[in-house]
Amino acid sequence: MKMKKRMVSAFLSALMAGCVLLSAVGCSKNGDSTETTGPDDGSKTPTYNTETRPFSMSIQTPDGVFNPFFSTSAYDSAIIGNTQIGMLSTDPKGNIVCGENEPTVTLDYTVKESSENGKNYTTYEFLIKNGILFSDGKPLTIKDVLFNLYVYLDPAYTGSATIYSTDIVGLQNCRQQRLGDISDGSSSSFDDTFVGEANIRIQNLIDYVKLKGKGVKQEDKPSMPAGFDEAAALVDYKTVANTFRKELETDYNAIDKESYKDWQFTEIWQIFLYNDGGRSELLLKDASGKLVKDKDGNPQLDPAAAKQVWDDEIKPYIDEHPEMSQEDAIKTYCIESVYESYFPGTVLTDTFASQFETVLRAWGTSSTILDLFTAEAKSNYFSSSERLVPNISGITTRSNVTEFNGKTYDDGHDVLSIKIHDVDPKAIYNFSFTVSPMHYYSTTNWNGKDYIAAFDGVENFGLEFGNITFMNEVINAPEKVGLPVGAGPYMASNASGSGKVTSDNFFNNNFVYYERNPYFYTLGSGISNAKIKYMRYKVVDSDQIINALANGDIDFGDPSATQENIAAVEVAGLGHVEIKTSGYGYVGVNPRFIPSKSVRQAIMMAMNTVLIAENYYKGGLCELIYRPMSTTSWAYPTDATSPYYKYDSTGEEIKRILEADGYEKGSDGIYQKTIDGFGVDRLGGQNYRMTIAGGSTDHPAYAMFLKAAEILNSAGMEVKVVTSQTALSDLSSGKLAIWAAAWSSTIDPDMYQIYHMDSQASSTSNWGYKQIKAGKNSEAYSDEYALIQELSELIDAGRSTTNQETRKAIYKEALDKIMELAVEMPTYQRKDMSAYNKKILDESTMTPEKDRSPYNGLISRIWELSYN
């Protein structure tokens, strides 16, 4: 239904049609559009050389995960999209298309329903084009198609694609390596086994540190289970320590000083030592020891305390390390000082057990380690078990096919056949996956085996089955993370357009470089190579896009569709198009950090979405919505016309709800409560940061967040609004507590990827599903577990029929369950804007107005774009 799904035409359409900016500042491309080209100054339009002048577009800071199998952020996916093609694409109405005129692997396809022995099936067949070449000149064949499928369907795959959710015949037998019939619920219980093993491993590690570390009385030291491997535990300890250090580095890099101006913090190191280091002495207190706050309830920096930390700790470190710049020395000291407070010398026996347990319970490291240990448990299971099921029986191929779908072909083609149980309205979209080259993403030598040469399409498919180490070391190897390869209209390049292209020079100094793929024309008789040879992205903050366009730094950008920006682009003589997008804004609240449903509901009651329409998207550029789905979807409930949680401008109802749930004010005036299965939930600190995705306050939700923080703080909470450049990366690992961002909706309203309890997509981390499932029998999460069970059953029901009216009724109920869970509050359905330099770009080579839609953007056929 939403962002992070591989839509039809995979990443290419994510860029050109479904372009998602999670910071919610505008990907603009689509239907019901109004178009203005701006004033004409009468000057002669110059001619630009398509062979030498690069076409430049704006983008916000990517995470740098440019691997088509593993990217999660919209910006990364957009960057990858230029280099990739999918099995299928869509037309302006969202209908599946393929053929000679489309940039697809598939030439034609069929869908047939059948019955066998009382069971119903649907079979999808795809006729593969002949002669396609990847950008390096090597052929794209049925082997590449199967390799990609088997990567996405492998039990060790941890990316965001959810093709595995399609009930392909034989899929679960292969994923679980079990023969015979497998029940519907066995997949969940199978995966839960490995999660359980991972949690036991984590608990044993915590107990081992209690036994060998510091801070635990002798009588409280636990005993270890028989056969406990101390050497392995020491390795795990160091893995946790290294992961924690990386988390600290990420946190430091994400800090935006501007977000803390009202606290009077002036330096990043002050903010980091307070947030991550717990240095509460940095806050000003009165004579009685209570925090001093301004009229808006914001704590204040104690300048004297900050100076003392500088003089006693940081300045001496700078002096001791003349080889470092002052900035690097400050950063290194801060990170290492916090790290050492948890892992002194990275020596287990010197580590305080309580600190170590906190890292594995409350920090982001906890989720990373749980995922790692779960994946390793699954890999160990498969490596120690006999390979009973060599392949997925419902996926087969035929070669040298000359008759297909009533047509005759001179040359024989390969055909991919995928057979599923019953029907699945989402299946055809799942089968639109990207096809990336096996020769690049697999290997000729891993542990002595040539996986490419070993490919036979029967037992070997270019990867080691169920092996997380292979996934990490080969398919997701560092050099492949930073450098995508595919058959898209462009290929990765560097600033000079010559010499060796590496991950370091592909994305360098805030530029992403591309060059025309010389083999793109091999996709069909209706496809030509890109008219503009060189293309690049420039990282530009959302509030600087129009300036960058006016100054000639970029040719095309996506500023927010505000009245002020529309006026600015017209004054600058730029072309622009406003479109109702297939997506919406929302506020997320993660139960991992905010376990009480009552508190999450109270937070939503403080959100006045009217401020978005009045202050940001003025003049009808957005509409307020009340269920988490785009109004462009046929499934959006039209009778949802008022807020699910009524806005409480005074905070009185919020206080009543908190106190009814057992929260009491502590000595600092902040509500808190001890919850079984979570611990003390103090309604302040790191867990109650409201994060704006992106490094700018130019965001639809910023004013709403400021007002909500004011209401919540007056009611007895301690909430802080911050901006973050790394918010998109943090979302992929579920590290944010409260945030504002935006989804882009896919064509089918299926909710599996985002909300099903069995989804392995990273998005479920934002809803705290791991913690909810692990704590299903605790006070903290028992209610949430029951709700996600009910929600998952509704999602399954919505996938079991193709009847649109039946599905609409099911999704209406499912959307209400999401609102009851109080993890996502929809805010607005916006119009977006694409702005461009009309003196440089030839508007006749853009998508004509009649063909623009949520699925067909202004430059959806980017290879046809040209200059004046």
Are 829 and 580 in contact, with CB atoms under 8 Å apart? Answer: yes
Cα distances (Å, whole numbers) of residue 710 to 265, 294, 721: 19, 12, 10
Are 778 and 677 in contact, with CB atoms under 8 Å apart? Answer: yes
Task: Find the range with the poorest average confidence among 19-33, 127-141, 700-714.
Answer: 19-33
pLDDT digits (tens, 9 = 90+) for 656-702: 999 999 999 998 899 999 999 888 999 998 889 999 877 678 889 99
Residue 252 burial (CB count, 10 A): 20
Task: Please state the rounded mean pLDDT for residues 553-562.
Answer: 94
Cα distances (Å, whole numbers) of residue 628 to 63, 379, 811: 26, 36, 11
pLDDT digits (tens, 9 = 90+) for 91-100: 988 899 999 9
Q: Is the pLDDT of residue 575 over 70?
A: yes
Task: Please state the rounded mean pLDDT for residues 187-202.
Answer: 88
pLDDT at 742: 87
The residue among 651, 649, 675 whose CA lies nearest residue 664 is: 675
Cα distances (Å, whole numbers) of residue 582 to 24, 70, 317, 657: 12, 24, 52, 35
Residue 167 burial (CB count, 10 A): 20
Residue 553 burial (CB count, 10 A): 15
Percent of the chain with pLDDT over 70: 94
Domain ranges of the chain: 195-378
Assign 226 a pLDDT band (cuts: 50, 70, 90).
Answer: very high
Task: Please state the rounded mean pLDDT for residues 144-153.
Answer: 98
DSSP secondary structure string for all residues of 303-341: HHHHHHHIIIIIHHHHHH-TTS-HHHHHHHHHHHHHHHH
Please state the pTM of the whole predicted model. 0.82
Helix, strand, coil share of the chain (percent; to 5): 40, 20, 45
pLDDT at 747: 86
Q: Is the pLDDT of residue 507 over 60?
A: yes
Q: Is the pLDDT of residue 3 over 90?
A: no
Average pLDDT, the chain: 90
pLDDT at 408: 97
pLDDT digits (tens, 9 = 90+) for 340-394: 999 999 999 999 999 999 999 888 898 889 989 998 999 999 998 889 999 999 9
Please report the beta strands in 595-717, taking only residues with DSSP state E, as ranges in sequence order: 622-624, 664-665, 671-675, 679-682, 684-693
Residue 559 burial (CB count, 10 A): 30
Residue 813 burial (CB count, 10 A): 14
Assign 186 a pLDDT band (cuts: 50, 70, 90).
Answer: low
**Interacting residues of 499 by C-beta distance below 8 A, sequence separation 6+:** none
